[in-house]
Amino acid sequence: MTTNIAMFSQRKPEALGYFAALTAVFITAIYPALTRLSVTTTLTPADLLLFRLGGSGLIFTPFLIMHAHKIPKADWLASLPLSFLHGWGMAGCVVFGLQFAPASHAAALGPGAIAAWIALFGFIAYGVHVQSRKLAGISVIVVGVGLILVASYRGLSLPTAMMGDIMFLLASALGASYLVYIQRRRLNPVIAAALVCVASAMIVVPWHHYFATSAIATAPVREIVWQLLFQGVLVGCCAFFALNYATLAIGSQTVGVLSALVPVIGALCSMLITRDAVSSLEWTAVVVISLGVGIASLPVRAVIPEARSRHFDRSAQSAD
């Protein structure tokens, strides 16, 4: 009885970890489609950027105030450049890029290509060598990215798709540089996210008020409330916390494998929500990128422990 209770208590956090990971995957995958639907019908990209970063910044402000005394001065100073890498700069590239390219491209080139950028930046900046299996997965991702760019060059989806693709790739490059930085600096991910969101809100809110083109005054109230909840709460906060919980519960490699679902789900959402056509070449690219992400996220077999176990087995046999 006690053993069964212990097994159940161990399985419960694992099950919640998978649920959190799939929640983060679904939010990440559906985000481009719902954002593109809004920027092509009712609101402007600047409005959605305001909702995304202004809303999440407002939510993270109390947390940042409570932990202000624990944050080093260097991290405070780094919040502005980091807000460009993982805040208003990255989010801006995605939101504005969705005016030109379909949501399926954003889901594939954003979350899908980030592993390749991380490997590239880690090698250039810190000399981090990539293991052979991960390198194989990244090579597959690069092939998939190339196929999407070919499809955009041929105009298979939208005539302006290449412009959006460039912005999506820039967004994934900015996000990758942010992840490499906080990993090397070993920053607390929650504090880093709070700094990024609050700093981004401090930049985006006045920019939107004085310089940006807005359609909030003419948009339906229901659309404004929905996008504020979706962009600021679900995307800006819930997806982040779900991802961090899942990483702690089931491990980053398992989360990485599950993230391979993002390009495929994103392409389906693009077809169902925004009615964007996805050509056979683009579907091939999406599947190739997903396959590459899965391969790059697979755990590496531990060779040393296996060799040790064989050594102990031989020693035991000789002793017998």
- Per-residue pLDDT tens for 228-268? 999 999 998 999 889 888 888 888 778 888 899 999 999 99
The pLDDT assigned to 305 comes to: 47
Express each pLDDT in 173-183 by its tens digit.
999 999 888 88
The pLDDT assigned to 6 comes to: 45
Q: How many CB atoms lie within 10 A of CB 191?
A: 18
The pLDDT assigned to 11 comes to: 61
The pLDDT assigned to 7 comes to: 45
Q: What pLDDT tens digit does each residue of the chain (320 aa) get?
A: 444 444 444 566 788 989 999 999 999 999 999 999 999 999 999 999 999 999 999 999 999 999 999 899 989 999 999 999 999 999 999 999 999 999 999 999 999 999 899 888 888 888 888 888 889 999 999 999 999 999 999 999 999 999 999 999 999 999 999 988 888 888 888 899 999 999 999 999 999 999 999 999 999 999 999 999 999 999 989 998 898 888 888 887 788 888 999 999 999 999 999 999 999 999 999 999 999 999 988 876 544 444 444 444 444 444 44
The pLDDT assigned to 136 comes to: 93
Output the CA–CA distances (angstroms, integers) from residue 207 to 50, 104, 212, 215, in the order listed: 9, 29, 6, 15
The pTM of the full predicted model, rounded to 2 decimals, is 0.88
C-alpha span between 83 and 92 (Å, rounded): 11
The pLDDT assigned to 256 comes to: 84
The pLDDT assigned to 101 comes to: 97
The pLDDT assigned to 10 comes to: 52
For the chain, where are the alpha helices, taking DSSP H only? 2-39, 45-49, 55-66, 73-86, 88-97, 103-109, 114-126, 132-153, 161-185, 189-210, 221-227, 239-250, 252-258, 261-273, 280-297, 303-319
The pLDDT assigned to 65 comes to: 93
C-alpha span between 50 and 192 (Å, rounded): 20
